[in-house]
Amino acid sequence: MPKIAFLDTETTGLFAEDQRIIEIAILTYDSGSRKLVDSYVQRIDPERAIEAKAQAVHGISYESLAGEPKMKDVANTISTKIDATALVVAHNAAFDVPFIGMELHRVGAPLPSVPSFCTCENGRWATPDGKLPNLRELCFALGVDYDPSKAHGAEYDVQVMAECFFRGVDRGFFVPTYREAA
């Protein structure tokens, strides 16, 4: 069965063109057994300040990243882990996927060509007015326990998103397309 990379990033700000990733979680599951087969969670020294608004969301300070590797040190690992899968799933893929692409490009790492699936964009059914659901709303709609005190930690967000994804697939709400022979 194909493998799925569920991922999330925390960043220094909102725009991939001039901001950096400071935390990434890539949890890889076997799509058939739905078992976790690989877990990669890494904080990264962004070599730049973190915007106050971003820090207020994720609670990660620049000082707490002292001694963490730089993107150039982990980019090939990130690229390899993503490339070993048949699908990337993110909640708000329009944010995370370009960030990862920009970071890999910036340091000259290979850019994987893997289809992505967004649980946010494909989750409009989860809200009464059809707006894009935040992760808490998606969890509520699918009966997944959600702890707001753990929100915006990349690993926690990926764990609950993966549970939502599989429940959404089981109920026919999510119909992903996988890359061949990954």
Determine, yes or no, domain membership for 131. no
CATH number at residue 105: 3.30.420.10
* Domain membership of residue 55 as a residue range: 3-122
Distances (CA, A) of 37 to 10, 25, 178: 23, 14, 17
Give the rounded distance of the alpha carbon of 38 from its chain centre.
14
Distance CA 119, CA 180 (A): 21
Determine, yes or no, domain membership for 27. yes
Determine, yes or no, domain membership for 56. yes
CB distance 91 to 109 below 8 Å: no
Determine, yes or no, domain membership for 35. yes
Per residue of the chain (182 residues), give pLDDT as tens. Answer: 899 999 999 999 877 678 899 999 999 999 999 999 999 999 999 999 898 898 888 989 999 999 999 999 999 999 999 999 999 999 999 999 999 999 999 999 999 999 999 999 999 999 999 999 999 999 999 999 999 999 888 999 999 999 999 999 999 999 999 998 64
Distance CA 121, CA 128 (A): 15
CB distance 154 to 160 below 8 Å: no
Per residue in 141-175, is it b (16+ CB within 10 Å) or e — as a string? bbebebeeeebbbbbbbbbbbbbbbbbbeeeebbe
User: In the chain, how many domains are there?
Assistant: 1
SS3 (DSSP) at 81 = helix
